[in-house]
Amino acid sequence: MFKKLVFALAVSSFISHSVFAYQSQSSLEGGESSTKESYTDQESRKNSWLKDKDLALGLLESNYDLWAKRIKSDYPSLLQQIELYELAIESEFQQPRLLADYVTLLGWSGRYIQAVSFYQSNLQNIALPTYALNVVALSAREIQNYALSREIYSQALAQSPGYVDAQLGLAALDIREGQWDIAEQSIQNVLEAHPEHEEALSLLAYLYNQQQARAVEKVSTYDKILALNSDEADIVRLKTLNLLELGIIEPAEKAMKQQPEIYQDDDWLKLASIKNTKAVRRIARDPRAQLNSKFINEALEANSAYLKQLENLSSSDKKVIAMAYADRLLVLNKSGQHEQVLQLAHSTLDYQSSMPDYGMVALADSYQAQYQSLKAYELMDSGFSNEQIAIDNNEALKAGYYAALDSGYIDPAETYLQHIEDNNPQWIYSPDKSRRTSNPDFPSARLMQAMHFAFINQLAKAQFQLETLLNTAPGNNEYRKNYADVLRWRGFVEESNQQLDMVQATDSNYQPAEISRIYNHMAERQFAQAREAVESLNDPETLPVSRLKADYDIATSPKLYFSTSLANSSGSNFSSKDRNYAFSAYSSLLNDHWRLFAKSQINYSRFFAVSESVSALGFGAQYQSKLHNTELELYQIEELNNVEGGISSTVFFDDHFSLNLGHQTYNKQIPVRAFFSDVSGDLNALSLSYRHDERNLYSLAWQRSDFSDGNQRQTVSLSGSQTLLHDYEQRLTLSEFLYRETNSADTNRLYFNPDSALSVSLDVSYFRMLYKHAPTHLWHGLNLQIGRYQQKGFSSDAIWGISYEHQWQLNKRSFLNYSIGYSEQVYDGQTENGPVFNLTYGVTL
């Protein structure tokens, strides 16, 4: 019976350890206490044995079997037996049987490390009996030295091919290493020879429990086990509790309900605890289970039953109840029921100070999901401050880091990041510093530090840090994938693809790289490839996959844009009360390339006490590809009867250069004054843009319009923009603009028509984040424009403008920008000035 119990406990160790501090704990039923003498009696016997040491050693030397029998009879405690065997070994008795029995006792007593160490130091060259080999193999398995365990089990079976304990031990090892088919075949071989072997049936049931869709076989196997038991209450109870330890809950619960009188209150609590643990663990570990309403409901029901029992027991510890509530928070959080998480947290405030860290992290994550990043930050900050959360808990530190970042608190975020770095040094040293091993979490900590620069908009620095990491570990695909992401964010999609090609060559199944590649396809307008790749993602819908699908949906969904500008200028002959409105609607992406659209434009102007307007309504199609983005439009000017047409196209040469071409048979930007002077005209436009990186952009543009009154207008402009400062909270941008205009006709026109004009201006804008509540954020800032305007026939004059602007990112699908300002321009030597207002709104449906 004792050997069977040791074996069963070895099997139960697969599932007895806790996950996230869940309440299920292993307990040894009926261990040494049932046979253990009082400490005084044992010491008396030991002292007697020591006084008679010579006689005892003489007996050992002459008759080991008798000596061993006497030890076992007089000292039933394993610990006492081990001590006496050690005394004998210290007396330089090296009899193989004695050594074999000693290492067996070590394994039986759970001293697995000591048993393996003694074997490796003293017994590798000794032919051990099969039972000793079996115990050493079990010990090696329990300390996860699987290679040594497999080698020793093989030795045992070589000595005794039909040795069942070794066969089952090897099967248990196969289960640990995930070799289900091999393990099942080994167990079935044992059962063919011994159909009623209880340990084999128990192990087979456990094997079935590890595999999906094997519930029927599992129940059938445990029916056989229960059929072998007698009706003695103690044995039935012990078997049922063993089933619980193995995680075989259904037969155990059935047995308990059939004979409830033989079970104690703690047994029922244990049943509820293990049901809770199993259901919650499944939700915590398996992303697929988090999307399965059946599993979610089972976990919540099991947790409710467990909480009810805990609250009905007056002896229940407050911390244990808090842990059960933490389990519930975890399930609700993982299943996306964030509102329920917050409601539960509010109703269990008294337990939060006793709650384990995983419950706090789940609550913080739900605060984040509900856009309450400040509360998430305050929760984590409080948890760390009162030591409720250990400072070496990396998951909690990450939750605190992202909450602080989303709340706009850079300094605390960087403090959390520093703790993560401190917790994950490159090397892990032994206590005496004599040995070291590489820390598997070190690369992730270094990567998080590098990506922090990307999160605070310092992309160039993030790129440099990642290049440094890749120089030290060129084979680290996690580094390279994130390096590819930063390159894409900087606009270097071609270089990003090159990095992903390198990842693909070494690990074709690395899903993060697949996701990054899809984002690259979308950045290059290759939506056919993106769609096919999204559809081919067969893995569970993890958070990155969910975000990818949401972003793909945003990129391909219908879009609406509205903008308006208003001016109320005065002071010159061309002073106008202008109001301009523009609206456009794009369909969802059709056939991976096409969008249909409708556009409306209305321009109002008041001059000489007369208000006039021109409106245009058009329909067309847009074609997107990696090479170009082209729009074709047919539109009608409301005040005219003829249909006009336009084409605009942007050709992309690489990540840096693009060419913009455009033609309109009727120039929709002709001033309202010109239109009501019966003047019309076409438009031809050409521009070449150079994008050095995400902070530097330059453009050279040319336009020409042939007016119906004989005037021919040409303009050439050169512009540049440099972001001098851009971090998490602020950005400073400098823009330059050089403009040259010529008109062929005389200036005797109702609309402004200089012979030639040249302007140069400098625009400085400074913006600072005013509000952040992810994903909503608000920036506000000032734009200041100063320059000179030179018109032929008139003196050179200063021009300037100033405006205050708000830039809202309302959510991932919509934005709103508006500004109010004051500007001063010059026309025919006369200064025109007045207030201006602009508004732009965009939304993805």
pLDDT digits (tens, 9 = 90+) for 364-413: 988 887 778 888 988 999 888 888 888 888 889 988 998 888 887 888 88
Q: For the ranges 225-234, 449-458, 522-531, 548-557, which has the lowest average pLDDT?
A: 225-234
Of 365, 368, 370, 363, give the one whose Cα is nearest residue 347.
Answer: 363
* DSSP 8-state secondary structure symbol assigned to residue 590: B
Q: Which tokens is 591 given?
A: 């056939």
pLDDT band at 648, cuts 50/70/90?
A: very high
pLDDT of residue 761: 95
| DSSP assignment of 781-837 | EEEEEEEEEEETTS--EEEEEEEEEEEEEEETTEEEEEEEEEEEEEETTEEEEEEEE
Report which listed range, 246-250, 694-698, 744-748, is most confident: 694-698
Strands (E), 455-524: none
At 642 the pLDDT is 82
Q: Helix, strand, coil proportions of the chain in percent (round to 5)?
A: 50, 25, 25
Better pLDDT: 71 or 485: 485
| Buried b / exposed e along 811-830 (16+ C-beta atoms within 10 A) | eebbbbbebebebbbbbeee
User: How does pLDDT run across 354-374, given as a tens digit for each residue?
Assistant: 888 889 999 998 888 777 888
How buried is residue 598: exposed, middle or buried, by Cβ count under 10 Å (0-12/13-18/19+)?
A: middle
Q: Shortest CA distance to 611 belongs to which of 585, 578, 564, 570? A: 578
Average pLDDT over residues 28-45: 43
What confidence tens digit (pLDDT) does each residue in 282-320 have?
A: 888 877 777 778 888 888 998 999 888 888 877 778 888
Q: Check: pTM over 0.75? Answer yes or no.
A: no
pLDDT at 238: 60
List, in sequence order, every residue forming a beta bridge with 790; answer none if it has no partner: 758
What would the mean pLDDT of 727-748 be, rounded to a whole number?
A: 90
Give the chain's largest Cα–Cα span.
134
| Structure-model confidence comparison of residues 438 and 671, the more confident one | 671
Model pLDDT, residue 20: 24
Task: Summarize pLDDT for 578-607 with one digit per residue, the tens.
Answer: 899 999 999 999 999 999 999 999 998 888
Contact at 8 Å (CB) between 229 and 236?
A: yes
- Cα separation values, 363 from 64, 119, 140, 325, 657, Å: 63, 49, 40, 11, 47
The sign one gets for the Cα dihedral 365, 368, 374, 375 is negative
pLDDT digits (tens, 9 = 90+) for 127-163: 889 989 999 999 999 898 999 999 999 998 888 888 8
Residue 243 main-chain phi, psi, to 5 deg: -60, -40
At 842 the three-state DSSP class reads strand
Per-residue pLDDT band at 570 (split at 50, 70, 90): confident
Asked if residue 6 has pLDDT above 80, the reply is: no
Asked if pLDDT for residue 807 goes beyond 90, the answer is: yes
In the DSSP assignment, the letter for residue 713 is E
- For residue 8, pLDDT over 60 is answered with no
Task: Tell whether the model's pLDDT for residue 433 goes beyond 80.
Answer: no
Please say whether the beta carbons of 145 and 139 come within 8 A.
Answer: no
Instruction: Examine the pLDDT at 271 and tell me if it is beyond 50.
Output: yes
Contacts of 479 (CB under 8 A, 6+ apart): 443, 447, 466, 469, 470, 473
Write out the two tokens for 651.
Answer: 């050709």
Mean pLDDT of the chain: 84
Cis peptide bond upstream of 775, omega within 30? yes
Q: Give the pLDDT confidence score for residue 7 in this predicted structure.
A: 41
- Phi, psi of 634, deg, nearest 5: -115, 130
